[in-house]
Amino acid sequence: MSIIENLNLVRKGIPNEVKLVAVSKTKPNEAIEEAYRAGQRVFGENKPQELTQKWNDLPKDIEWHMIGHLQTNKVKYIAPFVSLIHSVDSPKLLAVIDKEAAKNGRVVDCLFQMHIAEEETKFGFDYADLSEFLESGALAELRNVRMVGVMGMATFTDNQEQVSYEFRHLKEIFTKIKQRYFAGDAHFKEISMGMSDDYSLAIAEGSTIVRVGSAIFGGRVYSSK
C-alpha cells in the first residue's frame, strides 16, 4: 500500500474533531511530500535536528510537532517554528522553552507529558509532581509558553484492557488538572494519546490528538550510523 492509501485508511478511523499528527521520524522528505500532496499538513518528529532540517526543506505551511524527549540544550533549534511541543516533562524544560520562545518573539503551545505507562523508562510527570508545580504559581511567570493539555504513552503491550485503562487514567488526570488549574482557560483542551497500534482505543477514551507513524509510512528506517 502507498502512503496515500495508508493515510486515507487511518483518516477513516479518526473522527473529524480528532487531530492526526503524521509521525515522520526517520522518513525522507519524499515520504512527507507524498502525504503533503494528500492534504496532510501536521507532522511530528522526535529529534530536534531532524525536525529543523525538515522544516527548512519542506513547505512552510506544515505544522511541525515535537513529540519526543527534548533536551534543554536542543530547544533553541526548534523554538523559531515549532507549533506544539508534546513532551514537556519537567519545570526546567518548560522554563527553557519559555526563554527560547521569548527570544523569537513567540508564544509556544505545549503539553504536559504524563507518565501513565507501567514501564520505568517512559518520560513524564507524575500527577503529584505536576500539581506541586502548578500549585507553586511558577507557570504564571512564563509568558512565552501556553499550556494546551496533556500527552501520554501507554505501556508497550498486547493487553488492550491495560492500554485502555492507561488512556482512561490520562483522561482523568486531564479532567482533574483542567478543573483545578485551567478551569477558565479554553485553550487547555487537548489530550494527545494514541499511536499506530492503539489510536482506536485512545479515541474511545477521549483522545483529541493521535500521533500515527508506521501505519502511515510503514516500518521505520534507522540509519546504520
Ligand X SMILES: *Cc1c(COP(=O)(O)O)cnc(C)c1O
Q: Which residues of the chain form contacts with ligand X (CB under 6 A)?
A: 23, 25, 46, 67-68, 153, 195-197, 211-215
Closest CA to 208 of 179, 167, 169: 167
Closer residue to ligand X, CB minimum distance, 91 or 213: 213
Task: State how beta strands 19-23 and 42-45 pair.
Answer: parallel
DSSP H helices, the chain, are 3-12, 29-37, 48-57, 75-78, 91-103, 127-135, 160-181, 199-204, 214-217
Kindly state the smallest distance separating residue 33's Cβ from ligand X, in Å: 19
Closer residue to ligand X, CB minimum distance, 67 or 116: 67
Closest CA to 58 of 36, 86, 80, 79: 36
Closer residue to ligand X, CB minimum distance, 25 or 54: 25
Closer residue to ligand X, CB minimum distance, 137 or 219: 219
C-alpha cell at 162: 491495560
Kindly state the smallest distance separating residue 131's Cβ from ligand X, in Å: 23
Kindly state the smallest distance separating residue 17's Cβ from ligand X, in Å: 20
Residue with the shortest CB distance to ligand X: 213
Kindly state the smallest distance separating residue 194's Cβ from ligand X, in Å: 8
Partners of 113 in beta bridges: 151
Closer residue to ligand X, CB minimum distance, 115 or 211: 211
Residue in this structure with the C-alpha cell 515522520, named with its chain if needed: 24
Kindly state the smallest distance separating residue 68's Cβ from ligand X, in Å: 5
